[in-house]
């Protein structure tokens, strides 16, 4: 029964994900060294306005903006291995001294 439930749950989640758009914006100064775009990040005070029904002429398009860099921090982390909160800890060992599994994707 558990595997049937898991399969059903996965099918529902995947169906819903097909209809959720990914909004991206230009990166701020913190994220720019990592990528040329970033996901749209809303401030908690704007959640209700973003989700509220609106006429096409009154959409909250002003919320589609780059998140302020003052509200973010970034640091290097170890290559992804496994799962858990340790993945968020700042890197203390130089990457060249680490045992790294070769990537399938060239850098």
Q: Are strands 38-39 and 24-25 parallel, antiparallel or unpaired?
A: antiparallel
Residue 16 located in a structural domain: no
3 state SS of 38: strand
C-beta neighbour count of 31 within 10 angstroms? 19
* b/e sequence 53-80, b meaning 16+ C-beta within 10 Å: eeeeeeeeeeeeebbeeeeeeeeeeeee
Q: Which domain covers residue 65, as residue numbers?
A: 22-74
Residue 88 located in a structural domain: no
Q: Calculate ∠ Cα 96-99-100, nearest 5°.
A: 85
Residue 95 located in a structural domain: no
Each residue of 42-54: pLDDT tens digit? 999 999 998 888 8
Residue 54 located in a structural domain: yes
Residue 2 located in a structural domain: no
Query: In this predicted model, which residue has the larger pLDDT, 92 or 37?
Result: 37
Each residue of 61-105: pLDDT tens digit? 999 999 999 988 887 777 777 777 877 788 776 655 555 555 555
CB 106 within 8 A of CB 97: no
Interatomic CA distance for residues 51 and 60, integer angstroms:
9
pTM comes to: 0.57
The pLDDT of residue 69: 92
Tokens of 61: 């398009």
Residue 105 located in a structural domain: no
State the total domains in the chain: 1
């Amino acid at each position: 029964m558990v595997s049937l439930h898991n399969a059903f749950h996965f099918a529902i989640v995947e169906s819903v994900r097909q209809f959720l758009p990914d909004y991206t914006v230009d990166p701020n100064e913190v994220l720019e060294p990592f990528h040329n775009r970033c996901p749209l990040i809303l401030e908690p005070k704007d959640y209700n306005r973003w989700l509220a029904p609106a006429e096409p002429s009154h959409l909250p398009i002003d919320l589609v903006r780059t998140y302020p860099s003052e509200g973010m921090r970034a640091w290097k982390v170890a290559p992804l291995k496994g799962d858990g909160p340790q993945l968020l800890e700042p890197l203390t060992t130089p990457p060249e001294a680490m045992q790294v599994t070769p990537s399938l994707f060239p850098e």
